[in-house]
Chains A and B, each alone.
Chain A
């Protein structure tokens, strides 16, 4: 047990140290959401007219952009396993006298921490989206971001554990991350999607993360805004994310315990 916790701690510490040292990565990870918010949000604002006082398309996609940032950072962190296992530090962990299942947990915690840090930076953009958030909302958002990040990193870790090549990595990028992102309801509400798409959106764990952010961020925006944008109750969002995260991290732990 001590070895398990120490391994989790070492992996987490490593992830955090690396993240804080890579200033350019933080910057690019910040730049992409900013582009979505400013260019896409501003550009589509006139087309997607929402008849709610003090609420526009920018306010609508802002939680989605945070979700996107968390999704990309978390996935980026977990796919690095593919590389790391062949040419990196992970090999060193695999040959150490520690339980390998700890890799899945350490990686998920490390990736989640960096994703939350990344997401937190985006909170300063709330005024750009016409949303005024206060401390109580931030206190709620941080654990929700962490929960979404943990679920996604665990999922990514599980996929990466079973992927052996960099070609596989590109497959993940195209066939997992983009659909997860597009079906998350970041850019259009679940309720206005065509009937065939709605079940798919309801299967996307990221949708529950984005929806949880909306639940919290729109508390000051009135019931009309909430009715329009929010798809599920907060309790359901949290329950789905918790269940998904628990299942993924358990499967991830199993995947690493296997020896060929």
Chain B
């Protein structure tokens, strides 16, 4: 069987932190600000979890560090993954995709 000229890995990165809609440096911070922030953080995490479900459907391998959730696949292409995520209602700014090709055999 002919060996592929290139292999690929598609990586999707999801940021665990997001810019909060409230400025905590203001003088008149009130309790409802924290409740709104809590809701915002919950929405953000719910969205990440929903993207993780979609990535799991596509059989991405999931991992994490302190700042990001990562999904990695050697079978799904970057554009295919992006189109699928957009079709599920997510937006371009909800994720970052990195596609890396490597030489399939030891050529120059």
Q: Do A and B come from one complex?
A: no
**Which residues of B are interface residues toward A (Cβ below 8 A)?**
none
